[in-house]
Chain A
Amino acid sequence: MNVLRFMLHNRGQVLELTLEHLWLVGVSTVFAMLIGIPLGILIAHRQRLNKPVLAAANIIQTIPSLALFGFLLPVPWLGDRSERLAILALTLYALLPIIRNTYTGIAGVDSAVLEAGRGMGLTESQLLFQVELPLAVSVILSGVRIAIVVAVGLATIAAAIGAGGLGEFIFRGLAMVDNRVILAGAIPAAILALVADVGVGWLERRLRAG
């Protein structure tokens, strides 16, 4: 109850940091989708590119997040504002699940269906937008869902480089050895992750049924 009282007392700041957090996660997820979905489609169509692209995305994933934030800090334009840096790092981490699921979804479309479509005279772009993407959409969305949930967690570390977000409470609480302050950051972050998970999951099921 102490925690709740603390959060209520600082509700203005909790809200502000939550919104910052959402902003970091939202923008980076949108960027990752803009890059990852076309890239996933590309490697599903050009099988030769599939290994190198997925390997690159995998390697990015293995870099410890704190280290990645540190590596990027000296980069000129990026380093000017820690927020930019945090968004770039979060985007890089979100790429792997999105690319991989887009690839899996598109590559999993029944080849007989594609050939029937091609044989009926659908152009490649008609095949993509009317057949491949609609059939792959729920798999792609489940990749986005994973990316968002991971990003909500990772974004807490962005506070270490001063990018804001709910991590501020967590780091502050660690420094103060005050569990209430840590939880004031951790609980909203957990709720955000849960809401995103359930929300995108719902969208995913709806689109699959249709």
Chain B
Amino acid sequence: MGLRRELRYAGRNMPEPAATPVIEFRDVSFRVGQTQVLSSFSLQVFKGETLVLLGRSGSGKTTTLKLINRLVSPTTGEIYVNGRPNTEVNVTRLRRGIGYVIQDAGLFPHFTVERNIGLVPSIEGWPKERIHPRTQELMQLFGLSPEIATRYPHQLSGGQRQRVGVARALAADPEILVMDEPFAALDPLTRDDLQREFLLLQQRLHKTVVFVTHDLREALRLASRIALMEAGKLVTVLTPQEFVKSSDPWVAAYVRAFGDGLESAANRGAS
């Protein structure tokens, strides 16, 4: 609650012009059997920005995301994380430094909310007296009342589950957050709440976020920059304001499919 008052408006975190990228794809291709899932994909993600990967189902967004934390390994090319090829870092270390949020949260059904949130700190060997306040802090930050700490995921609403999922990803305070359609399964009102909370939170935490969605409205609202993908290729990378005005045929087609009122959506976050 205090968070909202503290933040009068939600601005956007634009990349520093000369900054070195936190995540960089260098000519990455990924093939499964005969299917080319991703071809010569290059992209830079800068510190503190929210880069949204937008595209239809099967365009390669999720694969791109999983390449970052090595849930998927590229056929050719390299992915740099914090200036080093991510294959040079121990895979467990790499993943614990990258918060991971998926659709339906992927919470452990046999763990309470508190244990779910505290999982990464606990496997990282944090002492109990440090984990408990951390989970309390995160629950408060996400507007989760303390009494649900002892509940199991199936006893929560969809919105609560997703909040726990984001809290869990942030528990060990990673610099990078990768989110795979985190709000797609929620009803429109809950989704709206979570998007708003995400903007407020990002305003305060300045994580480097890669966010996958097929929803253009969500992309316009949350993104610093939008990377549009189509059939395993990167079409273009644009800011939300540029995106709605672009004459690129793929971009225009996407904008057309979502219809009117997008300009205001694009400007909502920046106003």
CB-CB under 8 A for A115 and B110, given A121-B95, A121-B123: no
Interface: B131 (CB within 8 A): no
Which residue of B has the minimal Cβ distance to A137? B110
CB-CB under 8 A for A121 and B96, given A131-B108, A135-B109: yes
A116 touches B123 (CB 8 A): no
Interface: A134 (CB within 8 A): yes
**Residues of B close to A121: CB separation below 8 A:** 92-96, 120, 123
**Residues of B close to A112: CB separation below 8 A:** 102-104, 106
Which of A118, A122, A123, A135 is B110 in contact with, Cβ under 8 Å? A135
Interface: B254 (CB within 8 A): no
Give bound CA distance, A112 to B119, whole Å: 16
**How close is A147's CB to chain B, nearest CB, in angstroms?**
24
B71 touches A119 (CB 8 A): yes
Interface: B100 (CB within 8 A): yes
B123 touches A113 (CB 8 A): no
**Residues of A close to B95: CB separation below 8 A:** 118-121
The interface centre, meaning the residue of A117, A119, A122 with most chain B CB atoms within 10 A of its CB, is A119
Which residue of A has the minimal Cβ distance to B102? A116
Interface: B69 (CB within 8 A): yes
Interface: A126 (CB within 8 A): yes
> What is the predominant secondary structure among interface residues of chain B facing chain A?
mixed
Which of B100, B104, B107, B123 is A119 in contact with, Cβ under 8 Å? B100
The interface centre, meaning the residue of A110, A116, A120, A210 with most chain B CB atoms within 10 A of its CB, is A120
CB-CB under 8 A for A115 and B106, given A121-B92, A123-B92: yes
B106 touches A113 (CB 8 A): yes
B120 touches A115 (CB 8 A): no
A113 touches B120 (CB 8 A): no
Give bound CA distance, A120 to B94, whole Å: 9
**Residues of B close to A135: CB separation below 8 A:** 109-110
Which residue of B has the minimal Cβ distance to A131? B108
**Residues of A close to B94: CB separation below 8 A:** 121
Q: How many residues of B contact A (CB 8 A)?
A: 24
B71 touches A117 (CB 8 A): no
**How close is A128's CB to chain B, nearest CB, in angstroms?**
13
B108 touches A113 (CB 8 A): yes
A113 touches B109 (CB 8 A): yes
**Residues of B close to A113: CB separation below 8 A:** 106-109
**Residues of B close to A118: CB separation below 8 A:** 71, 95
Which residue of B has the minimal Cβ distance to A119? B100
Give bound CA distance, A135 to B93, whole Å: 26
**Residues of B close to A120: CB separation below 8 A:** 95-96, 100, 119-120, 168-169
**Residues of A close to B123: CB separation below 8 A:** 121-122, 126
Interface string of B77-120 (1 = CB under 8 A from A): 00000000000000011111010101111111110000000011
**How close is A109's CB to chain B, nearest CB, in angstroms?**
9
Give bound CA distance, A64 to B136, whole Å: 60
**Residues of A close to B93: CB separation below 8 A:** 121
Give bound CA distance, A122 to B96, whole Å: 8
Give bound CA distance, A134 to B100, whole Å: 22
Interface string of A99-130 (1 = CB under 8 A from B): 00000000000101101111111110010001
**How close is A185's CB to chain B, nearest CB, in angstroms?**
42
Further 8 A-B residue pairs, CB within 8 A, beyond A110-B109, A116-B105, A120-B119: A112-B106, A116-B100, A116-B106, A120-B96, A121-B95, A123-B92, A130-B108, A210-B110
Could you show 29 A-B contacts with beta carbons less than 8 Å apart?
Answer: A110-B106, A112-B104, A113-B107, A113-B109, A115-B71, A115-B102, A116-B100, A116-B102, A116-B106, A116-B108, A117-B106, A117-B108, A118-B71, A119-B66, A119-B71, A119-B95, A119-B98, A119-B102, A120-B95, A120-B96, A120-B100, A120-B169, A121-B93, A121-B95, A121-B120, A130-B108, A131-B110, A135-B109, A210-B110
A residues near B (Cβ < 8 Å) are 110, 112-113, 115-123, 126, 130-131, 134-135, 210
Shortest beta-carbon contacts, A-B, top 8: A116-B106, A121-B95, A121-B96, A119-B100, A112-B106, A121-B92, A134-B110, A113-B106
